Amino acid sequence: MFNWMKTAILMAGIMALFGVVGSVIGGRQGMLMALAFGAVGNFFAYWFSDKMVLRMYNAQEVDETSAPQFYNMIKDLAARAELPMPRVYLIEEDAPNAFATGRNPEHAAVAATTGILRVLNERELRGVMAHELTHVKHRDILISTISATMAGAISALANFAMFFGGRDENGRPANPVATIAVALLAPLAAMLIQMAISRAREFEADRGGAEISGDPRALASALDKIHRYAQGIPLEATERHPETAQMMIMNPLSGGGLRGLFSTHPATEERVQRLLAMAGARG
């Protein structure tokens, strides 16, 4: 129930941003049109955004024949988590990372880069993929996928306002200062909405992944290793689509400034410490 409440709040926040940007572009009529566009966008994101995200990353579906070891690992972890078998994808990228997507456990997919398969050992990789399956089990993937898709749409609408200006409800040019302010602040507000629900979600997925894999130390080791390796290897698709960064197990964005300040992920050190404490409590 709480996850559905988070989804509803997220959608309401995204819709409000659409309305604000739309009112700057075209006054009351523009606001209504933007809200209608937002409603259609939310519906589209619910049904199709998983396919869009996988296409952004040029993810290729694999099975027992094309990637037997990785596929069977996911199959075993899904059974341990009492989940339906998700679709399994590989992304041809050197940067080590992974994510889950889909609207519910019955229509879920997990994806990992070929880089993460090379960097991590089997125990560490099991911990990472158990983390992603926890997102599936908690239905976090619906929130992540919709927020990623809609944040990108808001950025596009804000860019339109920036370059083509706005109109009030009488068709006169809008205040250029207000137009620029909204164009700059709307994407930032969309990012803040993502942040508000992302950090706690990652801690919970770490805990759940450690429980499913039965190996908190391996997941802690994986997070530390991904953090160190990923710093020098950009994930090109995420650089082109930064709104999808919060879906990853580790923030892959290379830029500093606002990107570093408004990270959608908790500090790796704190995540590792919590997992090690969990391992210590287990003895």
**pLDDT bracket for residue 118 (50, 70, 90):** very high
pLDDT tens track for 2-51? 455 665 676 677 667 766 666 666 556 655 665 566 566 666 666 777 88
C-alpha–C-alpha distance, residues 223 and 192, integer Å: 24
pLDDT tops 50 at residue 103: yes
pLDDT at residue 217 in the model: 97
Residue 64's pLDDT is 96
Instruction: pLDDT band for 226, please (50, 70, 90 cuts).
Output: very high
124 among known catalytic residues: no
Residue 258 has what pLDDT? 46
Average pLDDT for 205-231 = 95
At residue 259, the pLDDT reads 47
d(CA 228, CA 27): 48
Structure confidence at residue 45 (pLDDT): 65
3-state DSSP assignment of residue 110: strand
Would you tell me how many other CB atoms lie within 10 Å of the CB of residue 14?
25
- Positive or negative torsion for Cα 119, 122, 124, 126: positive
- Pair of tokens at residue 239: 């650089």
Residue 190 buriedness (CB in 10 A; 0-12 / 13-18 / 19+): buried
Question: Mean of the pLDDT values across residues 72-91?
Answer: 98
Residue 256 has pLDDT above 80, yes or no: no
pLDDT at residue 49 in the model? 72
The Cβ of residue 235 has, within 10 Å, a number of other Cβ atoms equal to: 26
Q: How confident is the model at residue 260 (pLDDT cuts 50, 70, 90)?
A: very low
Catalytic residue among 93, 132, 202, 243: 132
Q: Is the dihedral of CA 181, 183, 188, 194 positive or negative?
A: positive
Of the pLDDT bands very low, low, confident and very high (cuts 50, 70, 90), residue 140 is confident
List, in sequence order, every residue forming a beta bridge with 249; answer none if it has no partner: none
235 vs 128, residue with greater confidence:
128
What residues have CB less than 8 Å from 54, skipping those under 6 apart?
A: 89, 101, 109, 111
Residue with the larger pLDDT of the pair 179 and 202: 202
- Structure confidence by residue, pLDDT tens digits, 186-195: 667 766 766 6
- More confident of the two residues 259 and 238: 238
- pLDDT score of 194: 64
% pLDDT > 70, the chain: 60
Q: Is residue 257 very low, low, confident or very high in pLDDT (cuts 50, 70, 90)?
A: very low
For the chain, give the mean pLDDT. 80
**Residue 153: CB partners within 8 Å, gap ≥ 6?**
18, 37, 38, 41
Picking from 212, 270, 244, the residue whose alpha carbon sits closest to that of residue 97 is 244
Model confidence pLDDT, tens digit, residues 56-76: 999 999 999 999 999 999 999
Residue 207: pLDDT band with limits 50, 70, 90:
very high
Higher local confidence (pLDDT), 179 or 86: 86
Share of the chain above pLDDT 90, in %: 42
